[in-house]
Structures are given as structure tokens and as C-alpha cells.
Chains A and B, each alone.
Chain A
Amino acid sequence: MRRQRRRVVPALTAVGLAAVVLAEWVSLGAYARVDGDNVAGQLIHDALPPTVYLVAGIAAMHARPESRIGFWLWLAGVLTFTGNFGNALVPGLSQLSIGLQDIYLVPMGIVILTYPMGRLDSPPVRWLIGLAVIQIVAVGLFVTASLDPADCAPGWCPANPFLLIRDGGTVAAVNVIGQVTGGALWLAMALIVARRYLVASGTARRLLLPVWIAGLLLAASGVASLVVETVRGPAAQYAYDYWVGWVVSMVPPVVFLAGLLRQRLDRAGIATFVEELANGITVGSLRDAFARLVGDTTLVLAFRMDDGGYADAQGTLVDPSAEGEGRMVTSIERGGREIAVAITDPALQTDPAMLRAAAAAAGLALDNERLTAEVRARVEAIRTSRARLVEAADAERVRIERMLHDGAQQRLVALALRVRALAAGTDEPAVSMRLDALGADLDEALAELRDLARGIHPAVLVQAGLAAALAALAERSPLPVLVDVPDIRLPAPIESTAYYVAAEALTNATRHARATSVTISAWLDGATFHMTVLDDGVGGADPRHGSGLAGLEDRVAASAGSLTVGGGPHGGTLVEIRLPIRQPTVAQPAS
């Protein structure tokens, strides 16, 4: 495409230059025939506006190869010279040139209707341009066929081989038809431009600004010309058109060119954009940053899902082909795989390189985000599976504890009851004594069984919660233990984890720390459960060296919490856990 442009632009430049030279040469001949007064000035006056079109067109083609506006401006410039050939004393060519001198209005119309891309994609625009070509050519050919050299001063006009119509009435009637159809076409164009403006997004409206400037300027100049004629007469109008109208006619191509050049997306913006991405950006704010960068508030960023569909950051399904109606869809790829699409205003087509750069940067960020999310999801999956293992182990402990209490212990109690009944019922003192001893043995077995069950899982934890369970732990501890724990129910995994950590810390304080007292405190801070176990011993406990706290560290991590073991503020050992609460806590009823 670039190569093509390199060849096309010089060729068009050459054609344009040739058109200028040829037209001026023809005009020079005509002016020379009239009089020699200020021929050079006259030539410059004639040649300047079309040359401005040519130059603006070529510049636009060079700077904005994606837009065809440059070509249409160039074509308008070239075709403006058509009228010049009316001065040539060549039979037929002169009359054709005069008849078709308005043909430059066709590319001008295309510029106005299709700015900034210059593509004839829209059916109404194509219809309108087609009708305009037919109207201009038809009216032009009629004019050609009605030009009678006899009306000219002698030697001014060449013979007209196409002369067919000599009836003045017909000429006048066709003139009216031409004006009416011409007016209708201008009106249709104004309607299309107005509709385009109304349906356009903010970005596209800003981009359409040159069309408005050019249109309003030309319309204002036309009105001013009429006003001058009414107030000051035809001579003043001629002077106005010759100078003011002449200058005004050169403004549109400059405005269009300036508009196209201004549309270059902010190159400095992409640096900011990349910086924003590097600082870490959420998927939702990526869309906003992207929209800011390209200046399109209507931008939709849709992510490609595994099933081939698309969804935006909110998870709403997006259909780019339906969404793409009159919109531009830019694919964002990573490693040859489409990961998202940006759906934007088609006006952004004027700088696809910039859009591609933005899409590449966004792709990098998205891919990074996706990989991070993937790793996070995997870590979370491992954590939840660990949490499930812990919960399953807890459930199993509860089950075993229940089996001991509700199975074995009940049987032993019933057995002891019967033994005691037998002892009471017998008259033999020796038997009675033996049975009493048996009953006492059973009592001991029951007590041992109870301790065993408690070690497996303290039933009080399930029955009355952490505060009661820790109080029971404190009662049996050989050290004085202060328990400052709110009497609220927490999710079972939190209660179990906190209980085991407290029990282990208490064991360490008793066995290794030579502590004389321990304080267990717990509190809720929002959705985080905190517990500290502080002793007044020698300190120096390390969870990684043999202590049972190492195993509990894994258990705490499975609840997405943290366990730290360190020194207390005034010596001793401080064990601290934080556990996020995922389920709502149930406040213990007052009764």
C-alpha cells in the first residue's frame, strides 16, 4: 500500500501540474486575444483556487493515505480547470468544456459527504453522487448543444458541431429544470450532512467540524454576494465575487487538509497510556484509558471468551458484528490470537497505525492481566482445595468424637448402670464389692474415653463456640490463663483453627517457654478475626522448628489467613493469627 502510494502521488502531482500548465496556456491565448491588460494577474487569479485544491489534495494523500479525501480534493482541483478549455478555439471542445464546467462540484460534494474517509460506502451518498453526475452531465450537455457561435462576437467562439437547440424558450425551460434539480441535490446533500452529524458520536462530530466551517463559509459568502448585489448593484457584486468570493473559494481545501492533519491521534497520549498500563490497570479502567487515548467516548472493549463470543468488562455479551454496524472493529491480539476487540467510531480509521499501537499496548496489558488472573485463580483453587481438606479432616474428627460419645460411651454408661443395679440387688457382700469395683473401673474407662474424645475434637466448640471451648481449655491448663474472647459464633473452620492454634500455643507455653501465665485475646475487626496468645515465658519459639505450630500455619493458610510467631511487647512469646471470615457471623442470642 505504501509502495502504491509512492507511485500514485507523484503521478497525480504530475497530472495536476500538467492540468495547470495546459489550462493556463489555453487561458493565456484567450486573454491575449481580448487585451494585454494585466494578463499575468488574471492568470494567477484563475489558476490559484484550483491549485490550492491540487496542493491540498496531494498533501492530504501524502499525510493520510487511508483517507481518499486527498484524491477527491485533487480531482476537484483538476476538474475546476474544465471551464478554462471553453476559451480554446477548438470546435466542440470549447462548448463541451463550457457545458461541463460544473463537473468539479461532484468531487467537492463527495468531500463534503464522505469527510474524513472519502469512501463511497453509504448507499444514500452513492445515490446522491450518481444523481449529481447525471444532473450535471445532462444539463451540461444540453448547454453544449445550445451554444450558438452566432451569439458570440466574431472570432470569439469556435464552431459548435453539437449545436442542436436554437429555440430560446426551450433553453429557458431547461435552465429552470437545471436550477430546480440542482437545488434539490444541494438540499439532499445538506440533509445527509445534517443526519450524519445527528447520529455521529462526540469524536465523529468533532471530526466533522471542517465540513461545517467550509459549508457555513461558502453559504455566508453566497448570501453576502446577494446582499451586495441588492444594495450596491451588479458591478459591486462582481467586484465582491472577484476578490472576496475568490479568497473564500480557497478556504475549504485548506480547512479539509487542516482537519485531516489535526486528526492525527495524540502520539504523546500513547506514552501516558503505556505508563498507565505498566502501573497495573483493571480491565474496566483499561477501557476508559483506551477511550481517553483515542478520544472516543463510545468505545467498547469486548473480550473474546473461550466459546468464541465476546463480553465487556461487566460481563455483558457483545456482538461485534451487530455492534459494528457503521462502527469500526479493531482486533487486539497477543501471540497471533485475538484476545479482545475495540469497537470504535469509524472516524478513527484515519490513523490506523496509532490505533494498532494502542491495541498492541492494550493487548500486552490484557495478556498480563489474564496471566495474573490465571495464576491467582490457580493459587485460589489450591487454597480452597486445602481448605476443603482441612474441613474434611475436621468433619472426620467430629464424626469420630460423636461415635465415641454417642456409641461407646453410651454403652459403657448403660453397662455401669446395670453393674451397679446388680451390686445393689445382691445379698452377697463379696459379689457386691466386686461389682462395685467393676463399676469404678467403668467410671475410669468413661473418664478416659471422655478425655480421648475431647482430644480428638472438643464437643464444647460445636455446642457453645470458641469462648466456651477456650474457657474449658483454660480450666484444664496447668497455667493460669486469661481468656478475653467475645461470646459469638463464628464459621466452624474459624472456630476450629483458632481453637487448635490456642491449644498448641498453650502447650508450647507450658512445656517449653517456662511461662507463668498466658493471655488469649480475640476480636473481630470488620471481616477479619484476630486472636493473640501471649505468654510471659522465655520466648524464642519458631514455628518452623519442630513446633506443632508449623502444621497449624498450613491450616491457617488454607483459610487464607496468616499466623505469626514472635516476641511479645514485654518479652515472652506472641502467637497471632488473622483469619478472613467468608460467611456472616451469627451473634449468640442473649439467652
Chain B
Amino acid sequence: MKIVIAEDSDLLRETLAGALREHGVEVAATASTESELVSAVEHHLPDAAVVDIRLPPSFTVEGLRATATLRARRPRFPVLLLSQHVEGGIALKVLRDDPAGIGYLLKDRVTRVSQLVAALERLVAGGSVIDPEIVSALLGRPRRHGPLDELTPRERDVLRLMAEGRSNRGIGQELALEPKTVEHHVGQVFSKLGLEPAQHDHRRVLAVLAWLNEPAP
């Protein structure tokens, strides 16, 4: 797998590049600004990019803007967005156009390089990755009695993994379940939450997140 990294902190960028190389990932180029990232992707044609949302000069949403530029040129180009903090509202914005190949993780996650590589592989395969912290915050959000209370603990686990962007296969692996069983749980979750069931994997992450993000109570 060939990737490009955009990260403004020299220390972190080089440490991360080194760690990924050790895990067999080809780091074709590193960038510290939005424009460097865009030209590096154009030049090296990597399989994916790891992008810090906050880049110079304003340290606000440069990474999001660069992602939009990259994906306008190469639809579904996999981008793993890293942020010092993660928010459900931003996750929805990031996923809104096309969730396929989009990842949004807390920057701390890069310290577990094998998980980072796994996330990148999911993105390259066309999946989505949403930080578990967002999902647990949304799930743990105080609500009045509602459809979530109707879910069995197992169905809740399935919902959480769907919200993190896992495919049925991924959910089955994670929970050690048969594909048929996973399909059954997914159907139950959708029916209990009142969601349209016939959703493709990468579309359903958006549907589930949007449902969870709906104004409570």
C-alpha cells in the first residue's frame, strides 16, 4: 500500500512515517500544507492519504478542504482524516458527500500503528472508519426512553460497529458471529430504529450516525 501523509508537526510526521514504513506501508511522500498534499497526491498517485484536519496557515479545516479537492479529482480517493478532537457533527459533514473511503479518527489512534494500517486497508477497500469515541459519545448520550432501549446488547454492539464503519464481514469477525447472524442483527437494528433496511455498507454508516446524531431527547 502506497500512501501520502499530511501533517504539520515535523516530529509527528516523521515518527509516523517511520512507524508506517516498519509496518510495510510505502510512504511515498509527506506534506505539511494543503497545497503540498494536493501536489504530492497528483504526483505519486498513492492508494490513500493520511491527513491532519488542522494545517497551516489557519489551523482550522485545511485538511477537510484538501480532502474535498482530492476527491473532486479522484472520486472515492481514500483519505484518513486525523484530528486532535473528534465531533459527531464534523463526522457527518465529512461523510455527507460520499462516505466510501473516508475515515475520521482521533489523532491519538496513530500510536497503535497496526490499527492504523487496518483502518487504511478498510478505506482502500471502499469502507469507512469512524472513531469509536464519536460512536460511544453518541450512543452514550442521555436520551429519554426510545428505540435504542429496545435493542438487545448484541444488537447494540452491531449498531456501534456499523457506526464505526464496519462491514458485515468486519462485524462478524469482531464479534465472532456467522455472516447470517450478523445480517439478522443488522436487520433487527434497522427495523427497530425505523431505518430503511436496503442500505449499502458505506451508506449505512451515514444513516446510522445521522440517526444517532438526531437531536435528543
A interface residue numbers (CB < 8 A to B): 402, 405-406, 409-411, 413-414, 416-421, 424, 439, 442-443, 446-447, 450, 453-454, 459-460, 462-464, 467-469, 471-472, 474-484, 517, 591
* Contact B111 A477, beta carbon cutoff 8 Å: no
* Contact A463 B84, beta carbon cutoff 8 Å: no
Give the residues from 45 to 100 in chain B that come closer than 8 angstroms, CB to CB, to chain A.
Answer: 53-54, 59-61, 64, 68, 84-85, 87-90, 93, 96-97
| Measured CA separation A450–B108 after assembly (Å) | 10
> For A471, what are the chain B residues with a Cβ–Cβ distance below 8 Å?
87-89, 213
| Measured CA separation A475–B137 after assembly (Å) | 6
Sorted nearest first, the 4 A-B pairs with minimum C-beta distance are: A468-B89, A480-B217, A410-B9, A416-B111
Least distance between B121 CB and chain A CB atoms (Å): 18
- Contact flag A463-B90 (CB < 8 Å), given A417-B15, A471-B213, A484-B215: yes
Interface residue? B141 (CB, 8 A): yes
**Selected A-B contacts with CB under 8 Å, 25 pairs:** A406-B9, A410-B11, A410-B12, A411-B9, A413-B111, A416-B111, A420-B111, A420-B112, A421-B19, A439-B111, A443-B111, A446-B108, A463-B61, A468-B87, A468-B89, A471-B89, A471-B213, A472-B88, A472-B89, A474-B215, A475-B137, A480-B143, A480-B144, A517-B144, A591-B68
Interface residue? B138 (CB, 8 A): yes
* Contact A421 B113, beta carbon cutoff 8 Å: yes
| Measured CA separation A591–B97 after assembly (Å) | 7
Q: Which of B9, B61, B108, B138 contacts A475 (CB 8 A)?
A: B138
> For A479, what are the chain B residues with a Cβ–Cβ distance below 8 Å?
142
Give the residues from 121 to 175 in chain B that come closer than 8 angstroms, CB to CB, to chain A.
Answer: 137-138, 141-144
Most buried by A among B89, B96, B217: B89
Least distance between A402 CB and chain B CB atoms (Å): 6
Smallest Cβ-Cβ distance to B111: which chain A residue: A416
Smallest Cβ-Cβ distance to B213: which chain A residue: A471
| Measured CA separation A478–B143 after assembly (Å) | 9
> For A424, what are the chain B residues with a Cβ–Cβ distance below 8 Å?
113
Interface residue? B216 (CB, 8 A): yes
Give the number of chain B interface residues (Cβ < 8 Å): 41
| Measured CA separation A459–B20 after assembly (Å) | 28
* Contact A453 B84, beta carbon cutoff 8 Å: yes
Least distance between A435 CB and chain B CB atoms (Å): 12
| Measured CA separation A557–B75 after assembly (Å) | 48
* Contact B215 A483, beta carbon cutoff 8 Å: yes
* Contact A417 B84, beta carbon cutoff 8 Å: no
* Contact B217 A517, beta carbon cutoff 8 Å: yes
* Contact B85 A453, beta carbon cutoff 8 Å: yes
* Contact A475 B88, beta carbon cutoff 8 Å: yes
Interface residue? B193 (CB, 8 A): no
Smallest Cβ-Cβ distance to B139: which chain A residue: A475
* Contact B54 A464, beta carbon cutoff 8 Å: no
| Measured CA separation A467–B89 after assembly (Å) | 8
| Measured CA separation A405–B52 after assembly (Å) | 12
Smallest Cβ-Cβ distance to A445: which chain B residue: B108
- Contact flag A443-B97 (CB < 8 Å), given A460-B87, A463-B90: no
Interface residue? B107 (CB, 8 A): yes
Most buried by B among A471, A478, A484: A471
> For B54, what are the chain A residues with a Cβ–Cβ distance below 8 Å?
405-406, 459, 463
> For A469, what are the chain B residues with a Cβ–Cβ distance below 8 Å?
87, 89
Interface residue? B27 (CB, 8 A): no
Least distance between B215 CB and chain A CB atoms (Å): 5
* Contact A463 B60, beta carbon cutoff 8 Å: yes
Interface residue? B110 (CB, 8 A): yes
Q: Which of B15, B61, B64, B138 contacts A418 (CB 8 A)?
A: B15
Least distance between B42 CB and chain A CB atoms (Å): 21
> For A482, what are the chain B residues with a Cβ–Cβ distance below 8 Å?
215-217
Given A406-B8, A459-B85, A480-B144; 9 other pairs, CB 8 A cutoff = A405-B54, A410-B107, A414-B12, A421-B19, A421-B113, A450-B85, A454-B85, A464-B87, A478-B142
* Contact A413 B59, beta carbon cutoff 8 Å: no
Q: Which of A414, A416, A442, A478 contacts B11 (CB 8 A)?
A: A414
> For B16, what are the chain A residues with a Cβ–Cβ distance below 8 Å?
414, 417
Interface residue? B196 (CB, 8 A): no
- Contact flag A413-B137 (CB < 8 Å), given A446-B108, A450-B85, A480-B144: no
> For A517, what are the chain B residues with a Cβ–Cβ distance below 8 Å?
144, 217
> For B111, what are the chain A residues with a Cβ–Cβ distance below 8 Å?
413, 416-417, 419-420, 439, 442-443
Q: Which of B9, B88, B138, B217 contacts A414 (CB 8 A)?
A: B9
> For B89, what are the chain A residues with a Cβ–Cβ distance below 8 Å?
460, 464, 467-469, 471-472
* Contact A443 B87, beta carbon cutoff 8 Å: no
| Measured CA separation A474–B213 after assembly (Å) | 10
> For A417, what are the chain B residues with a Cβ–Cβ distance below 8 Å?
12, 15-16, 19, 110-111, 113
Q: Which of A418, A462, A483 contacts B60 (CB 8 A)?
A: A462
Q: Which of B68, B85, B141 contacts A474 (CB 8 A)?
A: B141
Smallest Cβ-Cβ distance to B216: which chain A residue: A480
> For A446, what are the chain B residues with a Cβ–Cβ distance below 8 Å?
108
* Contact A421 B11, beta carbon cutoff 8 Å: no
Smallest Cβ-Cβ distance to B107: which chain A residue: A413
> For A478, what are the chain B residues with a Cβ–Cβ distance below 8 Å?
142
* Contact A409 B84, beta carbon cutoff 8 Å: yes
Most buried by A among B19, B61, B108: B108
> For B143, what are the chain A residues with a Cβ–Cβ distance below 8 Å?
480
> For B11, what are the chain A residues with a Cβ–Cβ distance below 8 Å?
410-411, 414
| Measured CA separation A453–B83 after assembly (Å) | 13
| Measured CA separation A390–B85 after assembly (Å) | 25
Smallest Cβ-Cβ distance to A481: which chain B residue: B216
Least distance between A450 CB and chain B CB atoms (Å): 5
> For A414, what are the chain B residues with a Cβ–Cβ distance below 8 Å?
9, 11-12, 15-16
Least distance between B77 CB and chain A CB atoms (Å): 16
| Measured CA separation A441–B59 after assembly (Å) | 27
| Measured CA separation A517–B64 after assembly (Å) | 34
| Measured CA separation A460–B213 after assembly (Å) | 15
* Contact B85 A464, beta carbon cutoff 8 Å: no
Least distance between A395 CB and chain B CB atoms (Å): 13
* Contact B22 A460, beta carbon cutoff 8 Å: no
Least distance between B62 CB and chain A CB atoms (Å): 10
Q: Which of B90, B142, B216 contacts A468 (CB 8 A)?
A: B90
Smallest Cβ-Cβ distance to A446: which chain B residue: B108
> For B107, what are the chain A residues with a Cβ–Cβ distance below 8 Å?
409-410, 413
| Measured CA separation A253–B8 after assembly (Å) | 98
* Contact B84 A450, beta carbon cutoff 8 Å: yes
Smallest Cβ-Cβ distance to A425: which chain B residue: B22
> For B12, what are the chain A residues with a Cβ–Cβ distance below 8 Å?
410-411, 413-414, 417
Least distance between B87 CB and chain A CB atoms (Å): 5
| Measured CA separation A453–B18 after assembly (Å) | 28
| Measured CA separation A373–B186 after assembly (Å) | 69
> For A421, what are the chain B residues with a Cβ–Cβ distance below 8 Å?
18-19, 22, 113
